[in-house]
Structure 1
């Protein structure tokens, strides 16, 4: 009888050990891939928020640096301004002693509390800075403004601001419609026409009567390039409404996505009496999310307060494009547990910090705000044009 040889192969124990080792390897590989995906998502999310935040801050701070050009005359800054725009842009609303106004200034902040602010930044574009003539005859209506001299520096299509020399009156924005080259030299009457079809800022009438010899007319530059801009946040998008961008006057246009908050603060020079010397430069002594009674005249939001804006502090909060997964054990997201705080550090001249904790939840987003990672961008922009204003009132 032939001896039976032992057959080759695995025993049951060996097979079970192999299966266990294989399962451990699969679990390890799965964990490694999951962690890798989480790391990648966090890295890509951080990259997205960095790019979007930098783009948003670059755009807004660029407007802030230019803000106030051609609008730094004391009779212009903070003037409650009447404007009719055929493309429906509106100046930002504000309060002055409990009364609603629409001031023309370098910057106007519509404070949103914990939510996003709306920041309006205005600038003229006159190549000569601000051309000025004086009203010679009383204006009580109509489309003709009789002025005291030939309007050098003015041209057909220029935007103009009619402002009373007595502060506190109401200004009017209009647009030149006549051919100034056809005007006869003095002593013939000089005039500006503001009526006529096809002009954007021409309503054909100003906001009330203006007294001759006590009213000035300022040239703000070609109406097509008049830079009246408003930045806002809507449903996670940074949006811009502007008079000098086609199609962006009536409705705001998206600029950057995954931007969840925009906050701004005035940097005000609150020095009193003889200590306030704007000809020698403005300086920040207080930061505020709302307009203060910076000139100590008893009324917050007066024209003098807007003339004391020395700088703006701006913050943009960007979020990652993709949310992170909730904790499997609790079902809660922990990517961010505390809402971001902006303006928590001292600014120029060691002014007050005035920190603000912002609400980063996006309206209509079903995902909890805690599932996203956020990045805060802050900057301080000196309003350089505020320091170049004329010294005369």
Structure 2
């Protein structure tokens, strides 16, 4: 008997798998998609880093500038008189040292007063009081040991800090920051009457005067108060703003009593004649400062070709930042400085307590 095949003529042909070509095409398409996704992710991540880094620099720079502006504007308050400027000032514990001179704000004071900060950055020493009495001081009418008689003893309180100065700028003067221990009109009793003379002036700086040293240390803006610590030691500085790459500052000088600022430089008033020195300070009526903040993220590539600039980079406006008096921002002390993004915050701060000192010759 003849056998017959059981396969139906309508049964579909046996299915086949993917060919090698199809697999390779699928892999290429997948790899192209992956490359595109990685590029989109890389661009988005770079944008996020730039935005985040710029935000960090914006916040840090703004906080640093605000703190400096606030203190510089107060500079000289409580002792804005010609006979109170330029003399060395002996401070009590914990500092227990003598500052080179008393002034509203000093750019790059001697390193014995404020140790140098990061390379190519400036330091500041700012002094002011917080008393509500007359800032021009009170005349000392009599001296009896530690008791100083003044006409307005009611303006003084126990614990407040005072400075006794001669009636006029005097060569060889030295001030002492003393504390008021008792007040019985007309006498103000102090714990140190050094420098007090009959006919001199007693300046009341209030209970919490400030002698603040600012410096950029380790990439941070730091500050130290001489009435809280010995600021001649860099270890006593506290960071108040992170990722600050540079601090630059210049005085604004006037050539006469009636002119506005007509020159900018870092020349701290100096003269062997105490009256001339006080006059030079009276004509130093503003400070121009720049804070250079950087982002916290170190970029893989160099994204900053040249250091940022500010008004002091080209003081005379001739397009050349290498002239005498120019103060460019220099970030080269850090080897990878070009791998950061930077923002510059600059302003002119009036030293508003100096104009009240009157004219000088």
> Given the alignment of the two structures, is residue 83 of structure 1 paired with residue 90 of structure 2, yes or no?
yes
Structure 1 residue 386 corresponds to structure 2 residue 354? yes
- Equivalence map 1:171-190=2 (5 Å): 171-181=174-184, 183=185
Question: How far is the alpha carbon of 1:175 from its aligned partner?
Answer: 2.2
Q: Secondary structure at the match of 1:180?
A: strand
Superposed CA RMSD: 3.5
1:337 to 292, 296, 305: 305
**Given the superposition, is the C-alpha separation of residues 205 and 68 from structure 1 closer, same or farther in structure 2, using an over 3 Å criterion?**
closer
Find the counterpart in structure 1 of residue 295 from structure 2. Answer: 320
Of stretches 150-159 and 125-134 in structure 1, the one that deviates more from structure 2 is 150-159
Aligned-pair CA distance for 1:390: 5.0
Matched, 1:240 2:238: no
Find the counterpart in structure 2 of residue 99 from structure 1: none
1:19 equivalenced with 2:27 (yes/no): yes
Corresponding residue for residue 112 of structure 2? none
Q: How does 1:1-393 map to 2 (within 5 A)?
A: 5=13, 7-77=15-85, 79-88=86-95, 102-110=100-108, 115-130=120-135, 131-134=137-140, 136=142, 144-147=146-149, 151-167=153-169, 168-181=171-184, 183=185, 191-195=187-191, 204=192, 206=194, 211-213=197-199, 215-222=200-207, 225-243=208-226, 251-271=236-256, 276-277=257-258, 283-291=260-268, 302-326=277-301, 334-344=302-312, 354-360=325-331, 368-390=336-358
Report if aligned partners of 1:116, 1:263 keep a CA contact under 8 Å in 2: yes
Residues of 1 paired with 2:40 and 2:152: CA distance? 79
Question: Who is 2:113 aligned against?
Answer: none
How many corresponding residue pairs?
335
Counterparts of 1:25 and 1:247, CA distance in 2: 62
Q: 2:163 touches 2:202 (CA, 8 Å); kept in 1?
A: yes
Report if the CA contact (8 A) 2:312-2:328 is conserved. no
Q: Distance in 1 between matches of 2:328 and 2:30?
A: 51
- Distance change (3 Å), C-alpha of 1:107 and 1:58: same
Structure 1 portions without partners, runs of 5+: 93-101, 184-189, 196-203, 327-333
Closer, same or farther in 2 for the Cα pair 1:114/1:133, shift >3 Å? same
Distance 1:192 1:392 in 2: 31
